[in-house]
Structure 1
Amino acid sequence: MRRILGKPVVIASTLVGVFMACVGLYWFQPWKLWVDDTVRDELPAAAPATQPDAVPDAPSGTANPSDKPRSSAPPTLLTLASGSLISHEHSTSGTAEIIRLPDGSRTLRLENLDTSNGPDLRVWLTDAPVKEGKDGWHVFDDGKYVSLGKLKGNKGDQNYALPANLDLKGLTSVSIWCDRFDVSFGAAELTAPA
């Protein structure tokens, strides 16, 4: 009698154990700790401004169709703010810069990023202070933050376009944020160049 009653309990326990293991694997995705995603985005740039060659003795307001535009000076990028990434939940290094392109658009650039891979990693601009150690792990969702999307890769150089209407006033830090566990992998305080 015990053998008959014991089999359904063993089968049910095994099924529950397998189900829980699958949920745990999906939730934590531990294999990502051994898989690196490297991204090599080029430094953003805009096309150089062009102007037509002057037409001698041409009436004002007319253009000569044979004129070819010539390039003016190469466009320059302007660094609005930058900082070095520090480690939080996972070892993290690299730099973060907010760059204004010649066309007026802005982008967040991560250079030489090196952090752990993980589930549901995001790039956030925030108003939170960057704190060393465990005190800094959970502060970035306490105030104002703007998600720039999923982290493209845990290593390399990458660009994240900023919304055109985004007011950067008060957004003083960037975090590599694990949205699944509400924890910062690493962060950088952004300061304007002197």
Structure 2
Amino acid sequence: MKHLLSALLVIALTTLATLGAMAGGSTSGTFTGKSNHITTGGVTIETHADGTATVTLDDDFSLDGAPDPRVAFGKDGAYVPAGDLGELKMLNGKQTYTVPASINVDDFNEIYIWCLKFSVPLGVAKLG
């Protein structure tokens, strides 16, 4: 009986771990302004069970303004042009961006608000 209970417990824990992995996950960060710009608020990256991912700038997101702001991934302090998700939709508030299938979110550890016109960061959120 004791071995049966142990086996059932192992099966249950394995099943829970598998379901957790299938459900996807999320990571988040908080923006810090760069290049004399004020960028604040949070960002959340969600990976979904179907393999898709989204980047959501939270309700408290705010950028003081700049020409041609973009949302993009970065890694270790560097903006990655191939990780560009498109134009910033609004200077304030919640907004969601679909991550193209060609981008693996696990390859990055930052989200950038990037000024394409002047090639400078406006804000960076370290993910963790």
TM-score normalised to structure 1 length: 0.49
Q: How does 1:45-56 map to 2 (within 5 A)?
A: none
Give the corresponding residue for 2:85: 148
| Aligned CA distance change for structure 1 residues 190 and 92 (closer, same or farther; 3 Å) | same
1:177 is aligned to 2:114: yes
In 2, Cα distance between equivalents of 1:184 and 1:176: 6
Structure 1 CA distance for aligned equivalents of residues 79 and 74 of structure 2: 6
What are the residue-to-residue correspondences of 1:54-65 with 2, within 5 Å? none
Match of 1:160 in 2: 97
2:121 partner letter: S
Instruction: Quote the Cα distance in structure 1 between the aligned partners of 2:90 and 2:63.
Output: 9
Q: Which residue of 2 aligns with 1:87?
A: 33
Q: Deviations over 1:49-108 (max 9, x none)?
A: xxxxxxxxxxxxxxxxxxxxxxxxxxxx75422111111121111111111235432100
Aligned to 1:106: 53
* Structure 1: 5+ residue stretches without partners: 1-76, 130-138
* Alpha-carbon distance between aligned partners in 2 of 1:101 and 1:170, rounded to the nearest angstrom: 16
Q: Decide whether the 8 Å contact of 1:79 with 1:97 is kept in 2.
A: no
**Cα separation, 1, equivalents of 2:106 and 2:86:** 20
Where is the strand percentage greater, Structure 1 or Structure 2? 2
* Contact persistence 1:126–1:145 (CA under 8 A): no
Take 1:173 and 1:149, find their aligned partners in 2: how far apart are those partners?
Answer: 16
Identical pairs, percent:
30
Residue 124 (structure 2) aligns with: 187
The residue that corresponds to 1:115 in the other structure is 63
Q: What is the aligned partner in structure 2 of residue 96 from structure 1?
A: 43
Asked if the contact 1:152–1:158 (Cα under 8 Å) also holds between the matched residues in 2, the reply is yes
Specify the SS of the correspondent of 1:169: helix
Give the alignment's TM-score, normalised by structure 2.
Answer: 0.72
Count of residues paired in the alignment = 104
Give 1:114's aligned amino acid: S
Residue 74 of structure 2 aligns with which residue?
A: 126
Query: Which amino acid letter does the alignment assign opposite residue 79 of structure 2?
Result: F
Cα deviation, residue 165, structure 1: 3.3
The DSSP-based 3-state class of the residue aligned with 2:45 is strand
Two-structure CA RMSD over aligned residues (Å): 1.9
Aligned-partner Cα distance in 2 for 1:95–1:102: 23
Greater radius of gyration (CA): 1
